[in-house]
């Protein structure tokens, strides 16, 4: 059964409740079982709610176990989104394809996708998607080892998100961390630590010391300091 076509209809008389079911997921000619879908429905007025569920890239990999099938899954959903004509859903589907291309080390293809997404999001004047596509384009350039281009697009994503969310937001911390990674790869360790420290401050404030994002940034700082000592 395709999750895209699965809907849950229910009446919430009061408070919040959770619906959990298992599905088969289809990609191409493959049916794969084992995904547990959990949907939390909250409605104080007892209205009927319909919830549609789609896999994100991490969930898709959890189910399919390889990125070739993940890519097939997202391409099939892109066709459906294109038929329905929702432009933001189309951008989201293409973004998932681009991110999957990154995981498959098909960097040039990923770059083309993210560049086109920036143009499409710009036509729609959707700043959040421009920032997301710019960030992912930065990741593609970084994966290719072109760090100046990576920094350019990470910085673009940061600038847009600062206008949307302000400078004190967890998404800004993610952008800082990405810039730290790129500057560190470029061998500019002081600059890398500068961005990591900014990210760490925000993550600790909003997510706490024990959150995985906080721990990741701390580890990144430690690794950069080790490189500085070796050099």
Contact 164, 172 (CB under 8 A): no
Q: Over 80: is that where the pLDDT of 32 sits? A: no
| The pair of three-digit structure tokens given for residue 206, joined into one six-digit string | 């909003």
% of the chain with per-residue pLDDT over 90: 65
In the chain, what is the straight-line distance between the N-terminal and C-terminal CA atoms, in Å?
Answer: 55
Where are the alpha helices (H) located in 50-106, listed in sequence order?
57-64, 67-84, 87-103
Q: In whole angstroms, give the CA distance from residue 195 to residue 214.
A: 13
Q: In whole angstroms, give the CA distance from residue 149 to residue 139.
A: 10
Number of Cα atoms under 13 Å in the Cβ half of residue 131: 17
Contact 172, 165 (CB under 8 A): yes
- 204-207: long-range contacts (C-beta < 8 A, 24 or more apart)? 205/168, 206/169, 206/170, 206/173, 207/170
**Phi, psi for residue 5 in degrees, rounded to 5:** -95, 5
Quick: pLDDT tens for 187-207: 999 999 999 999 999 999 999
| The pair of three-digit structure tokens given for residue 116, joined into one six-digit string | 């086109």
134 contact partners, CB below 8 Å, separation of at least 6 = 114, 118, 153, 154, 156, 157, 160
| The pair of three-digit structure tokens given for residue 78, joined into one six-digit string | 């892109």
Quick: pLDDT tens for 159-171: 999 999 999 999 9
Quick: pLDDT tens for 66-86: 899 889 888 988 998 999 999
- Structural domains in the chain plus CATH codes: 166-231 (1.25.40)
CA distances for 144 relative to 109, 126, 157, 172, 174, angstroms: 12, 27, 19, 24, 20
154 contact partners, CB below 8 Å, separation of at least 6 = 134, 135, 138, 175, 178, 179, 182
Q: In whole angstroms, give the CA distance from residue 111 to residue 141.
A: 7
Looking at per-residue pLDDT, the higher value among 145 and 45 belongs to 145
Q: Over 90: is that where the pLDDT of 132 sits? A: yes
Quick: pLDDT tens for 13-23: 444 444 444 55
């Amino acid at each position: 059964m395709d999750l895209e076509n699965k809907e849950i209809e229910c009446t919430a008389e009061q408070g919040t409740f959770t619906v959990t079911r298992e599905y088969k997921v289809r990609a191409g000619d493959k049916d794969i079982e084992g995904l547990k879908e959990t949907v939390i429905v909250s409605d104080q007025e007892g209205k009927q709610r319909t919830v549609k569920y789609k896999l994100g890239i991490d969930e898709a990999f959890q189910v399919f176990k390889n990125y070739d099938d993940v890519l097939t899954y997202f391409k099939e959903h892109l066709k459906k989104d294109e038929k329905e004509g929702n432009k933001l859903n189309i951008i989201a589907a293409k973004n998932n394809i681009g991110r999957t291309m990154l995981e498959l080390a098909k960097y040039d293809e990923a770059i083309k996708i993210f560049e086109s997404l920036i143009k499409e999001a710009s036509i729609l004047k959707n700043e959040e998607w421009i920032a997301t596509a710019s960030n992912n384009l930065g990741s593609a350039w970084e994966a290719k080892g072109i760090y100046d281009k990576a920094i350019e697009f990470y910085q673009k994503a940061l600038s847009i998100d600062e206008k949307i969310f302000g400078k004190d937001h967890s998404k800004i911390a993610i952008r800082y961390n990405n810039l730290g990674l790129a500057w560190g790869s470029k061998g500019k360790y002081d600059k890398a630590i500068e961005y990591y420290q900014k990210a760490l401050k925000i993550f600790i404030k909003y997510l706490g010391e024990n959150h995985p994002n906080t721990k990741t940034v701390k580890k990144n700082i430690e690794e950069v300091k080790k490189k500085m000592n070796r050099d």
